[in-house]
C-alpha cells in the first residue's frame, strides 16, 4: 500500500508540473475550455486511482491552471491559481480520510511554495516577468515537448486501460519515461531563459519547481529497503533523478548534468 501511494504521488506531480484543464466530476461546464485545448487529465487521474473525494476538491484547482497549459497570461493568473489551491487544500482537510497522507499537498507543493513562501519575491519580479514568461514557457515547450509528451501519455492505451480498471499506479510508473525526459530538458531551459530576462528569476522558479520532487524523495527514503528497491525497479531509469536526494540537490544548485548522475 505504501509503495502504491509513493507511485501515486510521483505520478500526480507530473500533472501538477504541467497542468491542463480537466473535465470536472461536477457539471460546471463554464470552467472548461474548448475541447481542442484540453488535456485529458481525467484519464490520468482515473489511471492513478485518484478517489472521487479528492477529485471533487482538486478539479477546480486544475481548471484554474489552464493558463499554464495554454501558456497565456501566466503571471496575471497566479493569484487565481493560489486561491484555488488554498481552497483545494481546505476541502481535503474536511475530507479527513480521503488524503490523510497529504499526497496532493506534496505533489502540488510548488504552488504552495510560490503562494505562501515566495510570493513577495515573485511580486517584486512581476513587472519584469509578465511580458516574457509566456514566451519562455512556449519556447521551452517547443524544445522539450512537454505538452505533447503529456498528451501522448494520457492517450496511451496502457494508461487508458489503467483508467478503466479503477487505477494502477504501477502501470502509470512504467510509462513516465518520456515525461522525465521532458523535465530534464524543461527545468534547465526555463531556468536559463528566465535568468537571462529577469535576474535571479530562473533560480527562484527552479527552487519552486523542485519542491514536489523533494517531497517524493523524502517519502522514498523513509521506505523499507525492499519497498525502496521495488519503487526504483518500477520507475523508468530516466526518472531516477526525481527520487534521489543527492541528484536533486545538485540540480537545485544548477548542476543539470546531475540528471544523468
Please give the pLDDT value at position 222: 82
- Judge contact between 17 and 29, C-beta under 8 A: no
Eight-class DSSP state of 116: I
29 vs 39: CA distance, rounded Å:
15
**Cβ neighbours, 10 Å, residue 192:** 16
172 vs 175: CA distance, rounded Å:
5
152 vs 140: CA distance, rounded Å:
18
Eight-class DSSP state of 72: S
- Judge contact between 218 and 233, C-beta under 8 A: no
- Comparing CA positions, the residue from 238, 246, 186 lying closest to residue 220 is 246
Percent of the chain residues past pLDDT 70, beyond the cut: 84
Over the stretch 132-142, which tens digit does the pLDDT of each residue have?
A: 988 999 999 99
Over the stretch 73-107, which tens digit does the pLDDT of each residue have?
A: 777 777 788 889 999 999 999 987 888 878 888 88
149 vs 127: CA distance, rounded Å:
31
Please give the pLDDT value at position 31: 38
**Cβ neighbours, 10 Å, residue 260:** 11
The DSSP string of 118-152 is SHHHHHHHHHHHTTTHHHHHHHHHHHH-HHHHHHH
Please determine, for residue 26, whether its predicted confidence score (pLDDT) is greater than 80.
no
Give the pLDDT band (50/70/90) at residue 36: very low
The 3-state DSSP class for residue 93 equals: helix
Amino acid at each position: 500500500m505504501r509503495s502504491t501511494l509513493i507511485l501515486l504521488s510521483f505520478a500526480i506531480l507530473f500533472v501538477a508540473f504541467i497542468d491542463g484543464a480537466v473535465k470536472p466530476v461536477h457539471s460546471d461546464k463554464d470552467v472548461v475550455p474548448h475541447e481542442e485545448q484540453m488535456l485529458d487529465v481525467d484519464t490520468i487521474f482515473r489511471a492513478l486511482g485518484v478517489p472521487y473525494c479528492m477529485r471533487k476538491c482538486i478539479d477546480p484547482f486544475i481548471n484554474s491552471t489552464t493558463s499554464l497549459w495554454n501558456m497565456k497570461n501566466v503571471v496575471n493568473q497566479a493569484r487565481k491559481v493560489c486561491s484555488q489551491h488554498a481552497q483545494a487544500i481546505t476541502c481535503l482537510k474536511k475530507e479527513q480520510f480521503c488524503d490523510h497522507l497529504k499526497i496532493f499537498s506534496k505533489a502540488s507543493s510548488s504552488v504552495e511554495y510560490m503562494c505562501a513562501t515566495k510570493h513577495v519575491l515573485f511580486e517584486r519580479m512581476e513587472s519584469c516577468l509578465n511580458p516574457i514568461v509566456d514566451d519562455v514557457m512556449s519556447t521551452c515547450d517547443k524544445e522539450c515537448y512537454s505538452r505533447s509528451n503529456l498528451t501522448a501519455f494520457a492517450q496511451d492505451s496502457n494508461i487508458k486501460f489503467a483508467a478503466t480498471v479503477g487505477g494502477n499506479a504501477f502501470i502509470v510508473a512504467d510509462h513516465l519515461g518520456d515525461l522525465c525526459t521532458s523535465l530534464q530538458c524543461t527545468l534547465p531551459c526555463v531556468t536559463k531563459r528566465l535568468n537571462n530576462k529577469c535576474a535571479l528569476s530562473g533560480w527562484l522558479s527552479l527552487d519552486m519547481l523542485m519542491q514536489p520532487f523533494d517531497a517524493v524523495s523524502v517519502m522514498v527514503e523513509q521506505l523499507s529497503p525492499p519497498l525502496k528497491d521495488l519503487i526504483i525497479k518500477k520507475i523508468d531509469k530516466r526518472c531516477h533523478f526525481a527520487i534521489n536526494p543527492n541528484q536533486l540537490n545538485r540540480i537545485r544548485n544548477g548542476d543539470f548534468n546531475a540528471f544523468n548522475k
